[in-house]
């Protein structure tokens, strides 16, 4: 089977083949731009998890992936990157169809970043290496050697969200395979088609059968994968509440868990910043992908002396953004992912007004956008840091603009949240920017920019925004175990008896 933009039904990808769910059940994938069913996808269950994990475990133990010379494995991963670029248009169409993302964003942002991630981890296949250490033990004979070895952890369970249907799976599959693990990927039920296409491209690139599996299904599927005794590593991106449940389910098995969770990121604008650039970047920071971004700059903190000037510029530009189907290359924002998400965001717009914030832009549904789940870019002013719209992750196109007086107050407001995923600082004073980088508690901090990421730098959060990191060498190390080896080179072994 070939996954394409015209695919109407799909199967599970197990052991390099397309198979129906053991139960025969399917579920519908909805186009958020129309609300219509766009595909029927196999609904995997516990039995399918058992089959896929058993295959992945066999592939791990028989060495069909790790026995391939590292440079050759690197070439295979680079071939995946090349195929992602080659299939740019088809992947973008799939993402727009199941996620609603505007085609231009899919083609020029998400897909290139996904390909770059495979290229980066292809370069790291020779990275898992130990080190020789000095041997030091009081009273022991002198002739010993000590060194460490890095070994892949085994079968990795990878669970990804719907907001970036290609990028999120890529951020987990690429380092897992680079480390030598085998993997079972569970994409979000809203966006399974792109993940299945990624599996197809991996097979075409030369990834051996059984090394990567893709199971599509609902929440029960994720629970079965997390609690499977033969899956020692779980990597999850999604809501903080779900992350807590995963930690609890993984605890009886002492699984290695990486969690990239929610955020309520502050974008701090000082009075010495270039306000025009800051406003444009703040627009991208919160409204990119219709605000459905974990690191979205949803709290815009503005120094009081330029609050009115900045807010006026932000609102003026927000009102110019075009909302509509992602298939129209001229649209800036597509729909939000589902009716459930649409209702949640609409509720928060009502809550913001009831709390006393001033609705400056948006707040409704564009008249000419279509029948899907469209919401206007929404800006609230006069927001207090304690309001729900300033504390709770909304995951939609809603910005809260909060005034502050000085650096200390900006830091207090920025850090006054359970989250710590990302933050940004806008200032012409580099010393001030670097001081803020030291004081703001976040896994990523941008100075005079926003949403800029590279596969070479780790990404993840402080506090309840998660544990562990995606990207960078830190992500690779999360799929590896460290083994210490000791060798006694003396004529007789050391003994106390």
Q: What are the catalytic residues?
A: 260
- Please report, for the chain, how many H helices and E strands are present, in that order: 16, 23
> CA–CA separation, 282 vs 413, rounded Å?
17
How far is CA 312 from each of CA 275, 280, 290, 309, 316, rounded to the nearest angstrom? 11, 12, 21, 5, 6
Strand 36-42 relative to strand 9-10, pairing: parallel
At residue 64, the 3 state secondary structure works out as coil
Structure token pair of residue 252: 């009886």
Integer Cα distance of 327 and 317 in angstroms: 22
Categorise residue 64: left if φ over 0, alpha if ψ from -120 to 50, beta otherwise. Answer: alpha
Quote the tokens at residue 452: 């800029």
Tell me how far CA of residue 181 lies from CA of 153, 237, 260, 280, in angstroms. 6, 19, 20, 42
| DSSP SS3 for 417 | coil
CA distance 272 to 406: 12
From CA 481, how far away is CA 463, in angstroms rounded? 25
List, in order, residues 6 or more apart from 381 with CB less than 8 Å away.
311, 357, 358, 360, 401
Residue 175 backbone class (left: φ over 0; alpha: ψ -120 to 50; beta: rest): alpha
């Amino acid at each position: 089977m070939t996954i394409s933009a015209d695919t109407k039904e799909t199967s599970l990808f197990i052991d390099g083949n397309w198979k129906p769910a053991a139960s025969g059940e399917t579920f519908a994938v909805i186009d958020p731009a129309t609300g219509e069913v766009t595909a029927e996808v196999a609904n995997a269950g516990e039995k399918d998890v058992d089959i896929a994990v058993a295959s992945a475990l066999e592939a791990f133990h028989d060495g069909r992936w790790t026995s391939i010379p590292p440079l050759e494995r690197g070439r295979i991963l680079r071939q995946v990157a090349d195929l992602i670029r080659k299939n740019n248009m088809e992947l973008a169409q799939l993402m727009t169809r199941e996620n609603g993302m505007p085609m231009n964003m899919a083609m020029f942002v998400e897909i290139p970043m996904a390909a770059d991630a495979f290229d980066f981890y292809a370069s790291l296949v020779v990275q898992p290496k130990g080190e020789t250490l000095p041997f030091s033990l009081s009273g022991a004979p002198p002739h010993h050697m000590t060194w460490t070895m890095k070994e892949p952890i085994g079968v990795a369970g990878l669970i990804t969200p719907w907001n970036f249907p290609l990028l999120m799976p890529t951020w987990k599959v690429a380092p897992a395979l680079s480390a030598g693990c085998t993997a079972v990927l569970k994409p979000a039920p809203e966006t399974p088609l792109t993940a299945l296409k990624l599996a197809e491209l991996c097979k075409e690139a030369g990834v051996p059968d059984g090394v990567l599996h893709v199971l599509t299904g609902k929440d029960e599927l994720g629970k079965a994968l997390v609690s499977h005794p033969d899956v020692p590593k779980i990597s999850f991106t999604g809501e903080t509440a779900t992350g807590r449940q995963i930690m609890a389910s993984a605890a009886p098995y002492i699984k290695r868990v990486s969690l990239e969770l929610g955020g309520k990121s502050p974008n701090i604008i000082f009075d010495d910043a270039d306000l025009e650039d800051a406003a444009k970047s703040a627009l991208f920071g919160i409204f990119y992908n219709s605000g459905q971004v974990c690191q979205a700059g949803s709290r815009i903190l503005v120094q009081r002396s330029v609050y009115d000037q900045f807010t006026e510029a932000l609102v003026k530009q927000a009102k110019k953004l075009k909302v509509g189907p992602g298939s129209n290359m001229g649209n800036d924002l597509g729909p939000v992912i589902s009716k459930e998400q649409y209702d949640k965001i609409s509720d928060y717009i009502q809550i913001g007004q009831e709390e006393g914030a001033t609705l400056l832009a948006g707040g409704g549904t564009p008249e000419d956008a279509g029948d899907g789940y469209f919401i206007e870019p929404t800006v609230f002013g006069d927001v207090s840091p304690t309001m729900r719209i300033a504390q709770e992750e909304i995951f939609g196109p809603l910005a809260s603009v909060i005034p502050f007086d000085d650096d200390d107050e900006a830091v207090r407001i920025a850090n006054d949240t359970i989250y710590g995923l990302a933050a940004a600082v806008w200032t012409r004073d580099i010393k001030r920017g670097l001081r803020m980088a030291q004081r703001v508690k976040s896994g990523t901090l941008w100075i005079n920019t926003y949403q800029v990421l590279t596969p070479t730098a780790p990404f993840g959060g402080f506090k309840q925004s998660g544990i562990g990191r995606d990207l960078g060498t830190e992500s690779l190390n999360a799929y590896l175990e460290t083994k210490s080896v000791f060798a006694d080179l003396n004529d007789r072994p050391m003994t106390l008896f």
